Structure 1
Amino acid sequence: MNTISRTVFCFVSFRLFSALAILIAGILSQGQASHCLAEGDPPSVSVLVSAQIKPYAEALEGLTAGLESKVKLDVVFMNKLGPQEKESLFRKIKTSGKTAIAIGTEAARNAVIELSASDVRVLYLMALNPGEFMDDNMRSCGISLNIPENKQVELIFGAMPSLQRLGLLFDPKVNGRFFLEASDAAGKAGRFIVPVSVEARTEIPRSLAEVWSTVDAIWLIPDRTVVSERIVEYIVKEAALRGKPVIGYNRFFYDRGAAAAFVFEYRSLGSQMADFALEVMQGKNCRATEPVFRFMLNGKVIKKLGMEYRIPEGTAVEVGD
């Protein structure tokens, strides 16, 4: 091999070696970035659960399945703790961890209040109206039980196109803003939300009697003043006697004869939070996120009422028997 050939060979070899080194470094850096939570001691995450009830337990199962191989979970049921035990718990979280996941409204409220001044980020799950207790520095975020009003309105009227006037049963002190947002969304679609406002459950029969002749359906939303199992059964029965459908917000309503309901699968919510928490812990923006849900139409009830339904394309609408 002459001098020129050796020079060319060395140059090409050097370029190939350099390119190979860069490629290997890139692969290693990607691997390091994608597995940063798996290296060394796993980060510790406190999981605060409001109470030992089935929905929270199912959400915890989904959360644990998605996180247990990546982080160390310390699960605490808040309803079992007294004031001093809660104080000790939050003091420990402030000094030992950077992330806390709160399942349920009460756990989320307590965590945000107690940890808002610390470096701990609170991620809430299955919290109702978290804006009522959120801190201002936006370190807290998560997945609530609030489906945007405009999305609910769109699904209800889209799936049951014969409905024009929807009676919303609510306490203005609890859901006044919800009514305004839903009314605005319905108005844009040429439909109406009729307020059926009450301040106590004893007012419900009278308030409903005043609107039965002016509404096509009754819509029940999460409202601590209005909703109980007995009230739901009463309203579904009274509506059926008048040939009116009821729209509710969980499987209980559907099983009790509501024509439609927004249904959550709680284990799926836990899985959603697992993915969300990992993203936040890896540096992605902490933001309020819509919960996964299904809008279930009760085909048997709708048919009995003599109504028609349709499934809008690209929506989470399902039809059951």
Structure 2
Amino acid sequence: MFLCQALANGTIQLSEPTHEECLVFLQGLKVSMKDFRFVAPGKAGIDVASPTIVWGAKRNSIEGLKGKSLIVLFTEASLHNLEKIPKSSIVFVMDIKFRDKIGLVRRLFPRPARIGVLTSDKEIFKESKNYSAVLAQYVVGPGEVPLSFRALIDRIDVFLAIPDQVVFNYYSTLFLLRECALSGIPVIGFSEDMFEYGALASYRIDFYREGMRMGRIFKNFLLNRCHGGVVFFPKNYRIIKRDDH
């Protein structure tokens, strides 16, 4: 529903969790964490007296952080943009790992399927080479999306969409979904919105349970019961597909 509205008004934000999903995550977090505050990107360096959440962190937003913090990233690509994770922080990525997405496709397609991927993230592009069934194209800018996809379209059985601000802007999203539909290539999406708009399948992360889980982990971290500098990915998610609806 939200994707349809975004496509209609040109304000598509596919590469990040929706506002509603972020709120649900925070609601779950509050079950375990009663005292925390936000630090917006670019506002680092504040002397923090209470546990801090760095929301949608970028490299310059964690430099100089004081006190223990929970860094929340929207995508795996965002993680690759950080040079290092401070030992005074733990990280939660609001998306599943690339390898788990490949596993999702294999579960949906028991027979060997050639998987097409477009990405502007060098680390994900490099990782894609570990899978013989994956045909990935590295994209530098949005203008390269049509040409890069057309280089894949005749060689793939399924298109795996992964969150990417370069690949999935308003116009390129319309183009990719339309071209896949016209070519009969199923799309495996990364959000419920993409599923609502026509993807064959996607995954639904239970952000409330993930918030509760990360609240417990963060609390243990604050009590020195676990180490910092660790990255966590969602564990509570399930596949949603057409024949379920």
Q: What TM-score results when the alignment is normalised by the length of structure 2? A: 0.78
What are the residue-to-residue correspondences of 1:1-321 with 2, within 5 Å? Answer: 53-68=19-34, 72-73=35-36, 75-76=37-38, 78=40, 86=43, 90-93=45-48, 96-97=49-50, 99-106=51-58, 109=59, 111-115=61-65, 118=66, 120-128=67-75, 129-133=78-82, 135=84, 137-171=86-120, 175-184=121-130, 186-187=131-132, 192-282=133-223, 283-286=225-228, 287-300=230-243, 320-321=244-245
Point out where structure 2 has 5 or more consecutive residues left out of the alignment.
Answer: 1-17
The amino acid that maps onto 1:272 is R
**Aligned counterparts of 2:146 and 2:161: Cα–Cα separation in 1:** 14
Deviation sequence 1:141-188 (CA, Å, 0-9, x none): 2211353332221221122123421111112xxx1211222331x23x
**Aligned counterparts of 1:271 and 1:195: Cα–Cα separation in 2:** 35
Pair 1:122–1:131, CA change in 2 (3 A): farther
Deviation sequence 1:188-219 (CA, Å, 0-9, x none): xxxx2112332222222222222211111111
What SS does the aligned partner of 2:104 have? helix
Pair 1:55–1:137, CA change in 2 (3 A): closer
**Aligned counterparts of 1:235 and 1:153: Cα–Cα separation in 2:** 19
**Aligned counterparts of 2:222 and 2:39: Cα–Cα separation in 1:** 23
CA RMSD of aligned residues (A): 2.6
Point out where structure 1 has 5 or more consecutive residues left out of the alignment.
Answer: 1-51, 301-319
What SS does the aligned partner of 1:62 have? helix
Bigger proportion of residues as helix: 1
The amino acid that maps onto 1:91 is I
Pair 1:77–1:148, CA change in 2 (3 A): closer
Aligned length: 224
What SS does the aligned partner of 1:209 have? helix
1:60: how far off?
A: 1.7
Pair 1:183–1:146, CA change in 2 (3 A): farther
What SS does the aligned partner of 1:114 have? coil
Verify the 8 A CA contact 1:262 1:293 in the aligned structure 2.
Answer: no
**Aligned counterparts of 1:152 and 1:182: Cα–Cα separation in 2:** 11
Verify the 8 A CA contact 2:114 2:157 in the aligned structure 1.
Answer: yes
**Aligned counterparts of 1:139 and 1:262: Cα–Cα separation in 2:** 31
Pair 1:212–1:279, CA change in 2 (3 A): same
What SS does the aligned partner of 1:125 have? strand
Verify the 8 A CA contact 2:187 2:199 in the aligned structure 1.
Answer: yes
**Aligned counterparts of 2:176 and 2:85: Cα–Cα separation in 1:** 39
The amino acid that maps onto 2:40 is M
Pair 1:223–1:165, CA change in 2 (3 A): same
1:254: how far off?
A: 1.0
Relative contact order, higher structure (CA 8 A, sep 6+): 2
Pair 1:145–1:276, CA change in 2 (3 A): same
**Aligned counterparts of 1:66 and 1:180: Cα–Cα separation in 2:** 37
**Aligned counterparts of 2:219 and 2:46: Cα–Cα separation in 1:** 24
Pair 1:208–1:131, CA change in 2 (3 A): closer
Q: What TM-score results when the alignment is normalised by the length of structure 1? A: 0.61
Verify the 8 A CA contact 2:40 2:56 in the aligned structure 1.
Answer: no
